[in-house]
Amino acid sequence: MAKYIFKRLLLSIPVLFGITLITFAIIHITPGGPTAIQSNMNAKVSADSVAKLRALYDLDKPVQVQYLKWLGRMARLDFGESFNDNRPALDKILEKIPNTLLLNILSLFLIFIIAVPIGVYSAVKQNSVFDKIFSVSTLIGYSMPTFWLALLLMMYFGVYLHILPVSGMRSQDAGRFPLYLQIFDRLWHLALPVFVSAFGGLASISRYTRSSMLEVIRQDYIRTARAKGLPESRVIYKHALKNALLPIVTLLGLSLPGLIGGGFIFETIFSWPGMGRLGYEAAMNFDYTVIMGVVTFGAVLTLLGNIIADITYALVDPRIRY
Amino acid sequence: MREKLLNINELAVHFKLEEGIFKAVDGINISVGKKETVCLVGESGSGKTLTALAVMRLIPKPGFIAGGEVLFLGQDLLKVQEEQMREIRGARVSMVFQEPFTCLNPVYTVGDQIGESVDLHIGLKGLQKKTRVLEVLQLVGISDATRVYGAYPHELSGGMRQRVMIAMGIVSEPDLLIADEPTTALDVTIQAQILELLAALKEKLSLSILLVTHDLGIVNETGDRVYVMYSGRIMESGPKKDIFSGTKHPYTEGLLKSVPDLGPVKNRLYTIPGSIPEPLKVPGGCRFHPRCPYVMDICREKEPAETKFNGEHSAWCFRYGK
């Protein structure tokens, strides 16, 4: 097992290089640059000072040299400074992570505790009215763009009904509230984003559970369990469920990058101060160091998530050993 | 005649298909005496397995038991409540299935799976449960019972797994063991061992066995009485020696001729011409008539009635009158 993990980690390195190289290239191919906003629009800035700025950020050097310099800094875990406010990119990323984590862990938790039972029930009662309603509604849930749903709900609950805040993660004067009210205030701000971010996942995880369960309840060992004289509930919840959940457990590992990486569009819509919004703003401002930092974080987490998924699979399924 | 343990009377299992009703088992009578091994023989698709599953009331959908009775010690199993049936299933009547590779739950250990029956039907827990499981593993000829107890099904060979299945079937000392092609998936040496085991268990535990098979070699080795089934009907029944040496029905004759001989190959192996009727295309009259070498006009018009020969030997064929 340890050998397997080591091998996987080693194999991740070239993939990581590839991801950063491609991202770096794309960023530099995109027209415009970090100096454009500070200078091009401003008539008072002379060509001379633009050149100085470019030299400051190494932008006057060839792209490959810039990439190698970046790699050199990364090797020392130096993410560089934001072009925008000169703060270390790593600090900016690290301070956003808890916000994104809070939002995503809640929504992931919600997804699994709701989606799995619904999926199981729907499979057990296959072709029932419930199952049919389920199939249609998950299809809708799966196909509905989250940003659109987010906007609709913001309009309804925030603008018409005035019962939920439409953006941010705390009220302006929340700092002066007693602790319990601060917690309540946080949950109040979380309601819409958590619901919307859970919505799409709910549909896909429950559909996944349903099809996995349907496959399992047709297996011979389920008949064996019935032939033993076990009550149907034990057959389903002991013998079938554990098998049906095996592939779902993997999904947990795979959702790790999203858990920390956050959704770019999603967080921007809700003005949620997380990783996603940080990445989005950095991209809009050509804040190269922050973009690269966010992407590198995302890439590492994705690769790590894949490895964790494989490891959890081996832990829960006795047939898989590395 | 020995005292009867199981009496299947006019059992019918139908399948509701889109194009109509398929009568997979069409009114059959079978009896199993105490400490008797009864073989149910026929080609694939003749309804043997369904007959066995009907006794357990485990007919898969869209099949259903359309009529008849299954008297087990005088009690009609088709009439008892589901809850009561669960107390019989796996406790008084057990079933061993064809595919030991897929019939054991891959994510639970052997100890868990047999222990579950011990808990359910004998009510033993903890150490007593484990002792009982180890005992029964030894009883089915597993010498390293402790290792097998903690093993997962995929860690065992096919023969071992079938022994585990049998252990699971006999752990609550049932009256009747239904074995559905228990050796079909195994190679010949293992097959012989499993058959020997079944014979030994029958003596030790005063078991009655209903053995479903397509292999006349197995019938010859283990059976006391034989039922020959074809397309949902019994064609011939009687004590083994009458079936083998006083064959009456052309179908039985065909089956016996199709058994390969050991020794130098003389001719091409005999096969019964044609194949078993497809669902919904069961011919009128005697259902074997399209494949029968002795077919007469009456065979196409009417279904033959039972003709009794000496003792318990019967055949359903117009060659013997009715």
Span A189-239, pLDDT tens digits: 888 888 888 887 888 889 999 999 999 999 999 999 999 999 999 999 999
- Tokens 């072009």 sit on residue: A83
% pLDDT > 70, chain A: 95
Contact B272, B258 (CB under 8 A): yes
B117 touches chain A (CB under 8 A): yes
The Cα–Cα gap between A197 and A95 comes to 21
The answer to whether residue B211 scores a pLDDT higher than 90 is yes
Report the distance separating Cα A285 and Cα A34, nearest Å: 7
Q: Which residues pair with B40 in a beta bridge?
A: B212, B227
Q: Does A215 touch chain B (CB under 8 A)?
A: no
| The pLDDT of residue A50 is above 80 | no
CB distance from A227 to chain B under 8 Å?
yes
Q: Nearest CA to A24 among A75, A78, A64?
A: A64
Task: Mark yes or no for CB contact A318/B106 under 8 Å.
Answer: yes
Please report the residues numbered 38 through 77 in chain B whose beta carbons come closer than 8 angstroms to any beta carbon of chain A.
56, 58, 60
Distance CA B32, CA B39 (A): 9
Kindly determine whether residue A227 and residue B102, on different chains, have CB atoms separated by under 8 Å.
no
ipTM: 0.87
* Residue A239 touches partner B, C-beta closer than 8 Å: yes
Q: How far apart are CA B6 and CA B72, in angstroms?
A: 5
Q: How far apart are CA A19 and CA A33, in angstroms?
A: 21
Question: Is A243 an interface residue toward B (CB < 8 Å)?
Answer: yes
pLDDT value of residue A268: 87
A243/B168 touch (CB, cutoff 8 Å), yes or no? no
Exposure string of A9-41, with b = 16+ CB inside 10 Å and e = fewer, is eeebeeeeeebbeebbeebeeeeebbbeeebee
Q: Which residue has the higher pLDDT, B205 or A164?
A: B205
Buried/exposed code over A145-165 (b: 16+ C-beta within 10 A; e: otherwise)? ebeeebeebbeebeeeeeebb
Is pLDDT above 50 for B294? yes
Q: Are strands B233-239 and B208-213 parallel, antiparallel or unpaired?
A: unpaired
Q: Cβ contacts of residue B62 below 8 Å, gap of 6+?
A: B15, B16, B17
Angle at B117 between CA B116 and CA B120, to 5 degrees: 85
Is the Cβ pair A239, B154 closer than 8 Å?
no
Residue A7 has pLDDT above 60, yes or no: yes
Closest residue in B to A315 (Cα–Cα): B107
Q: Are B40 and B227 in contact (CB under 8 A)?
A: yes
- Whether the per-residue pLDDT at A60 is higher than 90: the answer is no
Most confident of A115-124, A289-298, B265-274: A115-124
The model's pLDDT over A67-85, given as tens digits with 9 standing for 90+, comes to 888 888 888 888 888 877 8
* Structural domains of chain A, with CATH: 2-75 (no CATH), 96-316 (1.10.3720.10)
Beta-carbon separation of A243 and B120 below 8 A: no
Strands (E), chain B: 4-17, 20-33, 37-41, 63-72, 75-76, 93-96, 176-180, 208-213, 225-230, 233-239, 306-308, 314-316
Average pLDDT over residues A105-126: 90
Pair A253, A316: CB distance under 8 Å: no
DSSP symbol at A156: I
pLDDT band at A243 (very low <50, low <70, confident <90, very high): very high
User: What gap in Å lies between CA B33 and CA B50, rounded to an integer?
Assistant: 20
Mean pLDDT over B103-131 rounds to: 92
Looking at the predicted structure, is the pLDDT value of residue A43 above 70? no
Residue contact B107–A246, C-beta within 8 A: yes
Interface contact B100, partner A, CB < 8 A: no
Contact flag B90-A318 (C-beta cutoff 8 Å): no
The pLDDT score that the predictor gives to residue A100 is: 87
Contacts of A246 in chain B (CB under 8 A): 107
Nearest to B55 by CA among B41, B65, B46, B66: B65
Mean pLDDT of chain A: 84
Q: Is A176 exposed, middle or buried (0-12, 13-18, 19+ CB in 10 A)?
A: exposed
A184: amino acid identity, one letter: F
Q: Which two tokens stand for residue A273?
A: 């101060």
Cα–Cα distance measured from residue B240 to residue B227, given in angstroms and rounded to the nearest whole number: 9
Find the radius of gyration of the CA atoms of chain A: 24
Task: Yes or no: say if A154 and A147 are a contact pair by the CB < 8 Å rule.
Answer: no
Render pLDDT for B12-44 as a digit per residue (tens, 0 to 9). 999 988 888 898 999 999 999 999 999 999 888
Question: Are A227 and B90 within 8 A, CB to CB?
Answer: yes
The full DSSP string for B86-147 is: HHHBTTTEEEE-S-TTTSS-TTS-HHHHHHHHIIIII---HHHHHHHHHHHHHHTT-S-HHH
**Chain A residues closer than 8 Å to B99 by CB:** 220
- From edge to edge, which strands make up the β-sheet containing B306-308? B93-96, B176-180, B208-213, B37-41, B225-230, B233-239, B314-316, B306-308
3-state secondary structure of A63: helix
CA distances from A1 to A6, A8, A306, A307 (A): 9, 11, 15, 12
Q: How far is A210 from chain B (nearest CA, A)?
A: 19
Residue B4's alpha-carbon distances to B8, B71, B260, B307, in angstroms, are 11, 9, 34, 22
Contact check, Cβ <8 Å, B104/A242? no
**Chain pair A-B, CB pairs under 8 angstroms:** 69
pLDDT of B1: 46
Confirm if B164 and B100 have CB atoms less than 8 A apart.
yes
**CA distance linking residue A172 with residue A271, whole number of Å:** 14
User: Which of A218, A226, A228 is best to mutate for the B interface (most B CBs within 10 A)?
Assistant: A228
Q: Which residue of A has its CA nearest to B53?
A: A227
Q: What is the pLDDT of residues B85-100, one digit of tens each?
A: 999 998 999 999 988 8
User: From CA A272, how far away is CA A278, in angstroms rounded?
Assistant: 9
**Closest chain B CA to residue A246:** B107
Mean pLDDT within B274-279 = 84
Decide if pLDDT at B283 tops 90.
Answer: no
Q: Which residues contact A190 (CB under 8 A, 6 or more apart)?
A: A102, A103, A106, A169
> B89 and A242: CB-CB below 8 Å?
no
Q: How far is Cα B199 from Cα B222, in angstroms, rounded to an integer?
A: 7
Residue B90 and residue A223: Cβ atoms within 8 Å?
Answer: no
- CA A162, A164, A169, A173 dihedral sign is positive
Q: Does B86 touch chain A (CB under 8 A)?
A: yes
Q: What is the mean pLDDT of residues A278-300?
A: 86
Nearest to A224 among B97, B120, B154 (CB): B97
3-class SS of residue B10:
strand
Our separate counts of H helices and E strands in chain B read 11, 12
pLDDT at B190 over 60: yes
